[in-house]
Amino acid sequence: MAGLRVPRDRLPAALRRLLRAAGGRRAVHLPRGEPGRTAALYVHWPYCEKRCSYCNFNKYIPRGLDEPAMRSCLTQEAQTLLRLSQVQRITSVFFGGGTPSLASPLTIATILDTISQSTHLAGDAEVTLEANPTSAGASRLAGFQAAGANRLSIGIQSLDDSELRLLGRTHTAGEALRTLEEGKKLFPGHTSVDVIFGLPGQTLASWVRALEKLLPLCDDHVSLYQLTLERGTSLFKQVHQGSLPMPEPDVVAEMYEAAREALQEAGFRQYEVSNFARNGALSTHNLSYWQGSQYIGLGPGAHGRFVPLGEGKSLREARIQTLEPDNWMKEVMAFGHGTRKQTALSEGDVLEEILALGLRTDVGISHQHWLQFSPSLTLGDVFGTSEEVKELEEQGFLILDSRGLRCSWKGLAVLDSLLPTLLNLLQESWAERTSHGTRGRSQPGLAGLDGRCPPAKDPGDG
Amino acid sequence: MFALAKWVLGLLVVRKKSCNAAAFLHLPPWRQPFPVDPTQFYRQYSTRNQKDVSMFPVENIRNFSIIAHVDHGKSTLADRLLEITGTISTTGHNKQVLDKLQVERERGITVKAQTASLFYNHEGTNYLLNLIDTPGHVDFNYEVSRSLSACQGVLLVVDANEGIQAQTVANFYLAFEAQLSIIPVINKIDLKNADAERVEKQIENMFDISKDECIRISAKLGTNVERVLQEVIEKIPPPDVSTNDPLKALVFDSTYDHFRGVIANIALFGGEIQKGHKIMSSHTKKTYEVSEVGILTPNEQPVQKLYAGQVGYLIAGMKEVTEAQIGDTLCLHKQPVEPLPGFKSAKPMVFAGMYPADKSEYNNIKSAVEKLTLNDSSVTVHRDSSLVLGAGWRLGFLGLLHMEVFNQRLEQEYNASVILTAPTVPYKAVLSSAKLIKEYRGEEITIINPSEFPDNSMVSAYLEPTVLGTIITPDEYIGKILALCQTRSAVQKDMVYIDEHRVMLKYLFPLNEIIVDFYDALKSLSSGYASFDYEDAGYQPADLIKMDILLNGNSVEELVTIVQKEKAFTVGKTMCERLKDVIPRQLFEIAIQAAIGSKIIARETVKPYRKDVLAKCYGGDISRKMKLLKRQAEGKKKLRKIGNVEVPKDAFISVLKRQPDK
């Protein structure tokens, strides 16, 4: 085990984590309906070596970064928010960014220790670390493993050097593949790769070739993201000035379709719009977002969704931490946390998220899952009698059956066109139900449900 | 007779009083500079110091207009004439005094004609010169002709640089047909490229007026403007009228005053008029009691009485401008007269839908439209509503410029934001059977809304409005212009050289072909050198059909269009293409078709979405995505559904709206 190579001074913490690392893949299906209050936990490391041309996440190029101070603030905020949420168990941890592989293993270890001390962090809980090829040499990766990470998500993005330059990445395709090899050795079955498609200049043929090259080399998890041009990025500017031609929407659609088929052929299950896994290697952490579980976000700009029971509240809140690292640190030092904004979500709001996020998964929303959030208004009540839903079913986009509500293969690719219709139906029946005074459940019921599931991660994946 | 003497006596008394007024000590009354602020003026002079116009016998009166192509200097010349005669003070700030509206000054056109009485001493005689300003655009031809009918002569102003333009020709013929004396004035001789000689030759050529009769002036600098006044007195005859005839007054303009009601501008062709007279409209037969008469300087200045041959205004308790229609004849209630010829109600020729850009603005816009139409009886207003655009109006205008000016005034003066649909013209259908004629109470029906287009089986002929267009252009652009006219289904009627390099073309156009973008196209292909004007040429038989636009087989009511049969394909194709650009992709294919009856003549296809899903959706993305989805869901409720096709409001707007460059 890699843990054996961990320096002696960190051994106690590392030993604790070894047990977890050995936990391996866990069945990560739909919520298990635990009565206890659980949450997933996301940690945002806001620093990067360099700005990527496409990325609009909350990240900074550090000047004289004081890592001990950052570490201390993250741990302090962890303590505060865990106490506030009163969760009894953390189901998964995700270090995202920024580039968390630029942080020292000590920081990762310290944060995990803090979580373990504040609440229960199961030995087999998934702990993912995002890594960029250059900043993750083999020894560094081993250090992270020793610190407690048991899953690696590598931002390969492309296997073409000119594409990597276009994206403003700091590594070459060769370096990316080396990191992948190292990752697979250290985290067999738990190494994921991120790849981007729909790049300027990319063709269907070049994309298919890239996939053919990647698939034999990758481990059991692949995330495929269509490039989104985000305002304020240098890529956005170049494309809008006309200096870079984006592939036509229909071509990008074909790229997506080709990738889905290639991955299916290679034994992967598309368990979410952009995520593919084989041998059951689904990401517990990310699934918890799509299943509408509670999650706590730590670090600058991190988002959370949980019930702050510690404040005596009963409604789930959407919470955002202060964006800019220095200000965030000041706030943490002054108040114990850097939460900048908290918005209470109504039951209806939560249901809307359950619907919009749940349909991103291949299994969709099961009747049982839905009832946990909405005991008095079933999927059948909302969608069963709708002509529009019937039409969408007939057109082969949507399936509503004894299992629940889900997208077809074809429907998953156009989910955002289905959702406005479905959200309106939900809103209508919800309003009708509420106006009929059949308020089946009170707020505490929702809070109870909130306690149920795993955690989340933020706009962090650089 | 006795009564008359008494009136005169009364007036003399008043005049005496006015002569004693301190303000009039240094200047003869006709040289008094009058305050420009009408309210101030009103307070100061309304009771004590009424100006007396009885001292001007008919032979000392001249009624005239200035007519010119846009920007040839009509309003500047008017300013100078007002200054020279002391009507307004010479401050150097008098820029187009008669153009009161912002839109008039901006566009260099006169929308609302103004009138001013000038007092001028020539060779020891005091003259009353009534300058009757005319609207400066073809759309207002009818108003121009009414203004001209109150005159005995015109100043035909031509730019020494640009020479005769289309509107010069149109205006000349209006004056010529009215048998007015025409004084040609060549303006802007101070400009570097001025070529007065060339313009004089054009005038001789085109209008058969000796070049010796032309007066070369610079209205801007005042050069030779005094001579213009002298020629007005010498060449234009006084009105041939008599105060002994019964009252006969032509209404040649009207305005609405919030406090005083309708103010009608009148020219007296016989008799006299004063406060207390009971008068009658020959058109409506309604009677009124005159509460005030006066002259315009150019602001209203009350007088005791107006006499035959004079021009002024009248207030008589009329509540709406439609009660004082331009061209109507007023007479004494007890002495009806033969009305002056040529009256017609304003007839809108261009129709467009107008809708509030924001539905909550409906009431504000409604009130703005009401206020504007108070002053402009030629705009017709019918309430209308569209499934997409909501409640609005179908407005009728005299022409395209009239429509633009109206819209601009709404925006500038009332801060209203409206959606104006592409303009249409009123078509007519001649009914085919006696039964139908009985049913529709007439042989012809006018079709303003395309959805009311009657079926072929009911109709023996369709008619469309046509206009006779005049184009004047440097000859190098002739080829392009002939081609343009051909694409507009125009028939050439005439083509003459007005000098060595300039050509005048006359074409008969279907009105529909010129109302949207003809003028822009003409200007752009001639680098701005060609000018265009048109006049009504009546209705002509036309091969018209109704075209439907279908979305996946379902007709879109808002997009029904009447087209000439031979144009159907082009128009249909353009509409389909435009729609293709604005209808968002959906989950299924959308066929956009243009159809004549059951026959499809054009088709475009919007391909279905194959991928529409956010790639990344984690912590922070979730809030952002939910917000966006909820907005889309909200927006979806507002989409207009044609069959299963959802069409955003913007898509309709971009197809229905006027497209300046298409």
B480 is in an annotated binding site: no
Residues of B whose CB is below 8 A from A416: 612-614, 629
What is the mean predicted confidence (pLDDT) over B16-31?
Answer: 31
What is the mean predicted confidence (pLDDT) over B459-478?
Answer: 93
Q: How far is A323 from chain B (nearest CA, A)?
A: 12
What is the mean predicted confidence (pLDDT) over B390-402?
Answer: 85
Residues of A whose CB is below 8 A from B621: 459
- Any B CB within 8 A of A456 CB: yes
What is the mean predicted confidence (pLDDT) over B640-647?
Answer: 86
Q: Does the beta-carbon distance from A274 to B615 stay under 8 Å?
A: yes
How high is the pLDDT of residue B133?
A: 74
How high is the pLDDT of residue B242?
A: 87
Q: Are B231 and B156 in contact (CB under 8 A)?
A: no
How high is the pLDDT of residue B103?
A: 61
Give B189-248 pLDDT, tens digit per residue: 999 999 999 999 999 999 999 999 999 999 999 999 999 999 999 999 999 988 889 999
B69 is in an annotated binding site: yes
Give A220-272 pLDDT, tens digit per residue: 999 999 999 998 999 999 999 988 999 999 999 999 999 999 999 999 999 99
How high is the pLDDT of residue B360?
A: 86
Residue B32 pLDDT greater than 60, yes or no: no
Give CA–CA dist B74/B135, Å, rounded. 10
Residue A201 pLDDT greater than 60, yes or no: yes
Q: How far is A273 from chain B (nearest CA, A)?
A: 7
Q: How far is A283 from chain B (nearest CA, A)?
A: 12
Banded pLDDT at B529 (limits 50, 70, 90): confident
Residue B517 pLDDT greater than 50, yes or no: yes
Banded pLDDT at A442 (limits 50, 70, 90): very low
Residues of B whose CB is below 8 A from A304: 619
Largest CA distance in chain B: 101
How high is the pLDDT of residue B535?
A: 82
Give B496-515 pLDDT, tens digit per residue: 998 888 999 999 999 988 88
Give B294-332 pLDDT, tens digit per residue: 998 888 889 999 999 999 999 999 988 788 888 899 999
> b or e along A61-80 (b: 16 or more beta carbons within 10 Å of the residue's beta carbon)?
ebeeeeeeebbbbbbbbbbb
- Any B CB within 8 A of A155 CB: no
Give CA–CA dist A222/A194, Å, rounded. 6
B26 is in an annotated binding site: no
Q: Are A214 and A30 in contact (CB under 8 A)?
A: no
Q: Does the beta-carbon distance from A226 to B632 stay under 8 Å?
A: no
Q: Does the beta-carbon distance from B629 to A419 stay under 8 Å?
A: yes
Which has more pLDDT, A439 or B646?
Answer: B646
Across all residues in chain B, what is the average pLDDT? Answer: 83
The model's pTM: 0.67
B20 is in an annotated binding site: no
- Any B CB within 8 A of A31 CB: no
Banded pLDDT at A59 (limits 50, 70, 90): confident
Tokens matching residue B114: 């103004």
Give B61-83 pLDDT, tens digit per residue: 999 999 888 788 888 898 899 88
- Any A CB within 8 A of B629 CB: yes
Interface test with chain A among B583, B605, B616, B624, by most A beta carbons within 10 Å: B616
B159 is in an annotated binding site: no
Residues of B whose CB is below 8 A from A397: 587
Torsional class of B568: left (φ above 0), alpha (ψ -120 to 50), beta (otherwise): alpha
Q: Taking Cα atoms as reference points, which of B316, B252, B305, B251 lies closest to residue B278?
A: B316
Please name the residue of chain B whose CA is at the shortest distance from the CA of residue A195: B615
What is the mean predicted confidence (pLDDT) over B618-632?
Answer: 91
A 92-121 residues with CB below 8 A of B?
none
| Candidate from A173-187, A285-299, B425-439 with smallest mean pLDDT | B425-439
B360: Cβ contacts below 8 Å, ≥ 6 apart: none
Q: Does the beta-carbon distance from B612 to A360 stay under 8 Å?
A: no
How high is the pLDDT of residue A437?
A: 55
Give CA–CA dist B55/A384, Å, rounded. 92
CA distances from B86 to B81, B174, B554 (A): 9, 30, 68
Give B421-468 pLDDT, tens digit per residue: 878 899 999 998 888 888 888 899 988 888 788 988 899 999 999 999
Give A78-93 pLDDT, tens digit per residue: 999 999 999 999 999 9
The SS3 of residue A41 is strand
| Candidate from A104-113, B7-16, B122-131 with smallest mean pLDDT | B7-16
B153 is in an annotated binding site: no
Across all residues in chain A, what is the average pLDDT? Answer: 88
What is the mean predicted confidence (pLDDT) over B340-358?
Answer: 81
DSSP 8-state class, residue B524: H
| Candidate from A269-283, B20-34, B472-486, B617-631 with smallest mean pLDDT | B20-34
The beta-strand segments (E) located in B435-580 are 444-447, 459-474, 491-497, 502-510, 531-542, 544-551, 554-555, 561-564
- Residue A438 CB-density burial (10 A; 0-12 exposed, 13-18 middle, 19+ buried): exposed
Look-up of token digits 């041939």: B240
Residues of B whose CB is below 8 A from A458: 618-620
B57 is in an annotated binding site: no
- Any B CB within 8 A of A413 CB: yes
Please name the residue of chain A whose CA is at the shortest distance from the CA of residue B608: A250
Q: Are B645 and B590 in contact (CB under 8 A)?
A: yes
User: What angle, 0 to 180 degrees and rounded to 10, lies between the N-to-C axes of helices A105-118 and A138-147?
Assistant: 10
- Any B CB within 8 A of A462 CB: no
∠ CA(A436), CA(A442), CA(A448), 5° rounding?
A: 145
Q: Does the beta-carbon distance from B614 to A273 stay under 8 Å?
A: yes
Residues of B whose CB is below 8 A from A256: 611
- Any A CB within 8 A of B631 CB: no
Banded pLDDT at B90 (limits 50, 70, 90): low
Give CA–CA dist B159/A334, Å, rounded. 79
Q: Does the beta-carbon distance from A357 to B609 stay under 8 Å?
A: no
Q: Does the beta-carbon distance from B607 to A416 stay under 8 Å?
A: no
Give A313-368 pLDDT, tens digit per residue: 999 999 999 999 999 999 999 999 999 999 999 999 999 999 999 999 999 999 99
Q: How far is B628 from chain A (nearest CA, A)?
A: 10
Q: Does the beta-carbon distance from B613 to A416 stay under 8 Å?
A: yes
Residue B2 pLDDT greater than 90, yes or no: no
- Any A CB within 8 A of B22 CB: no
B 560-599 residues with CB below 8 A of A?
586-588
- Any A CB within 8 A of B630 CB: yes
